[in-house]
Structure 1
Amino acid sequence: MRGHIRKRGSTYSIVVDVGRDENGKRKQKWISGFKTKKEAEKALAEIIAKIEKNEFIEPSKITLQQFINEWLKIYGEPKWAPKTLVSNKSLIDNYIIPNLGHIELQKLKPVEIQKFYNSLKEKQLSNTTINYVHRLLNQVLKFAVKWQYIAKNPCELVEAPKKDKKEFVTWNFEHVKKAKKIFKDTPIYIHVMIALYTGLRLGEICGLRWEDIDFKNQTITVRRTAQRIDGRFIFKEPKTETSKGIISIPDFLVQILKQEKNKQLQNKLIFGEKYITEYEGFISVWEDGRFKEPDYVTKKFRKILKKQSDIPVIRFHDLRHTHATLMLRSGVDLKIISKRLRHGRISTTADFYSHVDLEMDREALRKLESNLS
């Protein structure tokens, strides 16, 4: 690798050989704007050293916004699930581009990113949202390094706030017994029971087909999740391998599922040609075969709970937490609970339900104290 210095007016420029193109022709790179020959010589030595180590990044005036647009077409749009794409584009369009998009990618400094996060905090954005912005921007800039637009990722030198600790309310054993009666004759009874006895997410419950139920071995296999994007339903495979899984179910839930399946078969006969077959085979359907969507289940669940005072009003997703909490209180090993919830790491489960461990520890201590007194 060779290079030389040229004086152009009152400043100096570097001319560097950066290899050959696809036709074997020598490629040269000009870098201008050095005030003294000594500065140019130092820069030339550094550049040649980087070239020899294959660490040289050609200067580019591409902005962060231009790179993100390119990155979305090549990576984001083909890779992400529809719901994730909508969510991430919202973060990009509402926060990243308006604040940092105009900056040249190679000139983006850690301090500018840190100031950006601070400004989001001043606008009362939650730590969780800022953390999501950071993770997304960090991912973008990692690809900028991989694709040799920049030498280092400035996000790695920035401190982003940790996500806010999620607060959730769960039902106890008595609440669950009452819930069985409250939801018994409602359109979402099957959804509530599956959530309580398996810990499945609502999208996963609505994505279940009868072929996913093994009545003989009493298991449910999670193969897909239901999402509504731009007015239409999309059924996607879980985004990670750990999100898939086979979950055992008790006799009580097996019987409820059998009753629901028989009811659907009867409804199909009753409606005849008027029965909608588009979603045939799915568990979450109305009497006429229309799809019973997650949004409806969520709203109906909340509406039913607000009409009574026997049990706390919680989110549908808190049924998943209720399942885990009650299993933990029943003495089920944390590793088994983590597998049922299909968490990637057991530490994730432990972090979520550490408060239950503490309560159980205190209860055990009270029993010990009572026995010793």
Structure 2
Amino acid sequence: MTEEVWDNPVDLSGKTFNIIKCYKSGSGETKNQEENGFAITFGFHCKKRRQSFVPSASHRIGTKNERKRAMTGSIQRKGIIYYAVIALNGKRKWIRGGPTKKDAQRKLNERLGEVEAGTYKELPKTTFGQFIAIWERRYADMSLRPSTKNLFTDTIQRLLLPAFSDKQMSAIDTGMLQDYVSARAKIVKPNTVRNELTVLKLIFKYALTWSYVRNNPTIGVERPEIEKPEIEILSPDEFERLLQHSAMPYRVAFLTAFLTGLRAGSSGAYSGVMWTGTQSRSM
């Protein structure tokens, strides 16, 4: 009997196929007529009339190589996103990979490894908005200082919820967060974006701890660089003129900073001067 080899893994559990004719050959081999591209042998006699048979998950379908291939899953593309697809309990499970085939292959390998080890667990179907309520109840309300919690809550309500509220936690990946960070970096200061990313990291840290995601998508997100302003340094001649026009105790403070490299606060403390922004007063 000629064996059919399928190009893609096929899960037959729970699906109905019409067997048109099957019979015992002279050599004792059970055969069936091919329909819709699938040649299926069940090892029993069928009546010579059209009938339906629903194979169960326990049936050994196809050759050994075919079964092995069916366990490996497949990579599928939808739009610009690649997905890992595996068959679990008779259903096809689509797992978001990323913009490259390599991303999907990595996710596929991870899930198949979990299935083989018996550690695979379905993630809760929880949106970002739903998880925020859980995160606030379990962590923020109990562990954050009121001032910190207020800052985080403001960031979440104004920015993060509008961007991610209806998205499944398991569907939010590094690329999605990078797009958010890059878009924000075009309209606000780098420090502001970094603070928003800090909140996201804390949220997904606990999402991973509580098994709402399998990995932390904030790891690998590139932060915007902070441009450090150029510092103008006085020349020796300029510093000498500064000292000539400085009264005590500021003269001592300037000289201490110049000779030791101490910061303004430290040099002022040694010379009895307290600096407040651009103002100063004697202590």
TM-score when normalising by structure 2: 0.46
Question: Between Structure 1 and Structure 2, whose CA radius of gyration is higher?
Answer: 2
Q: As a proportion of its length, which structure holds more helix?
A: 1
TM-score when normalising by structure 1: 0.36
Higher relative contact order (CA 8 A, sep 6+): 1
